[in-house]
Amino acid sequence: MRSVIKYVPYKVRPDDTAEIEHEARCVFGDEVECGAESGPRSDPAEVDVWMREHTRETRHGRYRQSMAGYVLWEAIEPVPSPVAP
């Protein structure tokens, strides 16, 4: 049995139905990082508040911020249905 492989171009586009998540982790420390995390938040201002409060409580002042979103991987052209033998 032989297989036929057809190249189908795809594109990536943002998934507008999902919110972007913002997060911060405290990386203060020379040998070992603090590691406290804000947890994912939809509003980046909430992460700023968390960092401010953590700094006030601990005097830690170094953070790693991240932002994550969802994307859709879609065929540019319709993919034909396989033909039954």
Alpha-carbon gap, residue 3 to 65, rounded angstroms: 46
pLDDT for the residue numbered 41: 97
Domain ranges of the chain: 10-75
**DSSP character at residue 18:** S
Residue 57's identity, in one-letter code, is E
CA–CA distance, 82 with 85 (Å, rounded to integer): 9
pTM, 2 dp: 0.71
Q: Please tell me the predicted confidence (pLDDT) of residue 81.
A: 62
pLDDT (0 to 100) of residue 56:
98
Residues in the chain, pLDDT under 70: 78-85
What the block records as the tokens of 82 is 């396989």
Which one-letter amino acid corresponds to residue 34?
C
Confidence (pLDDT) at 80: 61
Distance (Å, whole) CA 29 – CA 60: 8
Q: What pLDDT does 2 receive? A: 81
Bridge partners (DSSP) of residue 26 are 63
